[in-house]
Structure 1
Amino acid sequence: MALSHRIRIIGGVWRSRQIQVLDQQDLRPSSDRVRETLFNWLGPDLSGLKAIDVFAGSGALGFETASRSADEAVMIEKDKRIHNQLLIQHQLLNSYPIHGEVKIIHGDGISYLQRADDRSAQLIFLDPPFNQPNLLLSAAQEAGRVCDDQGRGGIYIECPNDFDLRDLSTLLPNWTLIKSMETAQVKAVLFRRSSS
């Protein structure tokens, strides 16, 4: 199993701890810059929130959320090798206990969302492989039903910077894009439920 590099957790209880990432095609951890921006949007304390990382990959978003005191961080990963690596990393991180619970599930993230109850999570991360845009569209549609952001969380999406955000807005009719940033390769956006 080739381990390519490490990424650091930016804030919270596990601040400065590192996650080892597998060297595997399509595994593209969110960059430090993008994660720092995202968690500036969300704030340093995520207590009271249940978060779902639908395409967990490196675990950068899920572990960062757990580090910031989310009540529950659910990380779903379809690839068995990557899932096993997430379990190892969690065991290493958990030598310093956190406030909430981390669940690392081997399975399909979209199927997980389809089975989830309406408004059963407050923060959902969607960062699928960039070469499979239909995954993002399917997941966004389910996330709009499952997420109840309570004005604090939301639906966070990372996609290629040539992706048309109007496709997402159509699938999330009761949501408003409130924050966005763009790098050379990535668009990062946060949707919050529109006030009724």
Structure 2
Amino acid sequence: MKVKTGTLNRVRIIGGDWRSRTLNFPNQAGLRPTPDRVRETLFNWLGQTLYGKTCLDLFAGSGALGFEALSRGAKQLVMVEQNRPVLDALKKNSEMLKAQNVEMNHADGVQFISRETRQYDVIFLDPPFRQEYLPKLLPLLPERLTPEGVVYVESEGAIDPGEGWEVWRCSRAGQVHFHLLKRTHA
């Protein structure tokens, strides 16, 4: 499939202070924003507001998850994106929203989390499908979560997160499976 370059796609924020604001992002292969219906379910699971929470959007893409979290009161958002044109669009959207407490990182998600030392209340994990990121990432995440922290995972199929994780919630919308994981405590 040939991808047009230079065209922009749009996704809208569905809740919070920036409800109905539109985010623009470039047309890039493999970039698929989390659909409205999935985000609505996710934020219902998370309790609608994220006041005081710190969030990591590890494969930020369109920014739909991270900006949605800020719109709903998150106090800090760290975004990681490897694709330079996509990162530039994230920066433009951040400026357009006058977003505060946003840190942008041009990096590979696995490399970033491997050297990260901070802890987060919510980690959004929506890596490119069919590239086997989850087996590499899930073992690295427990140390990056606060005691009550959760990890949101989008994938092309149902997942077994392995030892140390509990699938707290899961659902499916079309071809997308989505899960909310918690650490199991010994």
Q: TM-score, normalised by structure 1?
A: 0.86
Unaligned runs of 5+ in 1: none
1:26-65 map, 5 Å: 26-65=30-69
1:52-91 map, 5 Å: 52-91=56-95
CA contact (8 A) 1:174 1:193 kept: yes
Using the alignment, how far apart are the partners of 2:185 and 2:33 within structure 1? 32
Question: Could you report, residue by residue, the CA deviation over 1:2-22 in whole angstroms, capped at 9, with x for unpaired residues?
Answer: 234211101111111010121
What SS class does the counterpart of residue 122 from structure 1 fall into? strand
Q: Percent identity?
A: 38
* Structure 2 residue 173 is matched with structure 1 residue 191: no
Using the alignment, how far apart are the partners of 2:104 and 2:137 within structure 1? 18
The structure richer in helix per residue is 1
1:106 aligned residue: 106
Deviation at 1:174?
2.6
CA contact (8 A) 1:123 1:149 kept: no
Question: How many residues were matched structurally?
Answer: 182
CA contact (8 A) 2:59 2:109 kept: yes
CA contact (8 A) 1:121 1:149 kept: no
Using the alignment, how far apart are the partners of 2:25 and 2:135 within structure 1? 26
One-letter identity of the residue aligned with 1:90: S
What SS class does the counterpart of residue 56 from structure 1 fall into? coil
* Structure 2 residue 123 is matched with structure 1 residue 117: no
Distance 1:12 1:138, change over 3 A: same
2:141 aligned residue: 143
What SS class does the counterpart of residue 113 from structure 1 fall into? helix
One-letter identity of the residue aligned with 1:131: R
Using the alignment, how far apart are the partners of 2:45 and 2:144 within structure 1? 21
Using the alignment, how far apart are the partners of 1:111 and 1:154 within structure 2? 20
Question: Could you report, residue by residue, the CA deviation over 1:143-194 in whole angstroms, capped at 9, with x for unpaired residues?
Answer: 12211252xx400000002x5x22x2x2xx2321110111221110001223
Using the alignment, how far apart are the partners of 1:116 and 1:24 within structure 2? 27
Give the RMSD, CA atoms, in angstroms: 1.6
The structure richer in strand per residue is 2
Using the alignment, how far apart are the partners of 1:129 and 1:194 within structure 2? 26
